[in-house]
Structure 1
Amino acid sequence: MNSTTSLYSIGKLSTLTGVPVRTIRFYSDTGLLPPTRRTAAGYRSYDTTALLRLQTICVLRDLDVDLPTIRRVLAGDLSVAEVATAHAEAIDLQVRVLRFRQSILRYLARRSAGPEETSLVHRLTRLTRDEQHRLVTDFIDRLTAGTPSAHPAAAALRTAIPDLPDDPSDTQLAAWMELAELLADEGFRARMAHAVPAPHDEEALPGIPAQTAAGLVAFARQAVVAARESGTEPDSDGALAVADTVEARCANALGRPAGPELREWMAQRFETGHDPLVERYWRLVWTVNDWHIVPGHLPFQPWLVQALRHPRTGDSESARR
């Protein structure tokens, strides 16, 4: 190999690679890029292998790989693939952190948050996953104290723990913040405590034989689930047909005449123990966990109560009678 074409001065190496002379000199002094040889005057010279070595150093530095790791790669202790894998994982973590911060900033911007709320958001979002979990489980433990673990409501609370991911969407973060505020609200705790040990559905119809009540509740639930799955809103005219069907079944079972009095009686019974804010709690849990909301899993009573109380037009009321 012709030495005049295979060796580069430090200045030439800088020109070829775009790396400043002082940086090349630093790499040389630290042993990352030892010169191939020195001239009689003591100047450093580098061959093609050194040029490739410098290019490798530059690529890894551009990818934010630290010098000790680069030294191990050049020494053959680590492969580029191993380093790339480790740093890809590190960057993924950084991306999640940045996305989380972005979600917090967007949340604060939407809320036009003041200093007090900003401080609260910062504190709640900096909780570790264990601390977030404990915040919820402590709330649930206090609510279900003395309630049999097999009770459906208590079991549902203990299995549906909200778990905010490391990189939540804006919607998930907003749901978590609203949920955390509910957990800290003594008024909500009282309402939730009333709902958790709520009676079985059929007990919402007192004075009716349990078998009859259970049949009415099952029929009402199925009717509401079907309406929800079809996209029918409880305050729409389409919900009136559902309410009529449930009212007719109830009138027949109880031997009472259908009409406004019976509908209000039904509404009062079905809304007992079914707080809209409690339903909101469940929706927030599903949102935080990114769970698909299944119509059949939602409490049917709020929908039915709203449909039963939805005002009729004069024509539709006359046509029904």
Structure 2
Amino acid sequence: MPQIGRNDPCPCGSGRKYKSCCLIHDRITEQRDLAIGKSEAALLTYLFNYARQPRFNQEMVEAFNAYWGGAYDPAAANAIGPENMRRYFEWFVHDYPTLADRRFVIDLYAEMAEGRLEPDYQQLLDAWRASTMGLYRVAAKEPDDNLLLIDVLRGTELTVTDAVYQRNAVVGDLLIGRVYTLNDQPRLSHMTMALPAAYEAELSAYLVNAYRNYSGEAGTEASWDTFLRAHSMLFSAFLLSERSTHLRRNIGPGSPYADPAIGRDKLVEESARLANARRQAEAARRQGQAGTQRTASGIILPGAPPAPPEEAPVPERPSTILIPGRDD
């Protein structure tokens, strides 16, 4: 793919120059991709490929629609773009329970791969499995690629190592992601996303209110880990909801912050386009079936249905419903 020039039109279709649109965020994304370790990159690939097995097809469709807040055409999924897709996949493998046994894909993968992974891969997988989503405020940028973070929901402090956000985040930024500990060193998950400080008050209030409702329904005060493992989709739900619409002016093209609602809007448009194309194809098919028919007297009747056969044909064998996995 040819390199995009700073003054070229932005490929997102906004009509603005690349330097004034997606360049800043694209550079941060590229830095994160380049900074990912070999083991992390390989294990992510293994996990994502495992999650795409046919056995998870139903979960994948239901989870995708839940995450993006609608009922979408699966063929339109790529409209959200690769970054949004990877962030969705990270959530899916960690936090979406399977229909069959209510287990998480990452745990099923760990069970399947037990005894087959190299020690460094196994250590990383165990660290990921123990992680949960969180909302963090950047309190300070420290030496050696470290960040001092405030856990907004749990009310604690922690220091994490992340070279990319140490360079690109500003004090007050919010980070939504998973913190995992590897070799006694807390780190941020690859698809951690940043938001400006303007989001903190309303996003945290939204999550705290949901947490209180969850604890009330459970009849006891749940831990934040338990709540966020069950409801980590709430981060996406807030960012795609109308309650955050007035905050979107702080993110998206021209800023270092991604706007997932742009991907959602493209998903809506592509699903509508595909539905319209199918309707047109079906109308053309029916029009073709109508065709023209000639009567016994030789008169051509446009659109007349064909005369029924004198005797209904007998099928060679009873019709059956093909069941995936049984009739492949």
Taking structure 1 as the reference length, what is the TM-score of the superposition? 0.21
Higher helix share: 1
Higher strand share: 2
Larger RCO, structures 1/2 (Cα 8 Å, 6+ apart): 2
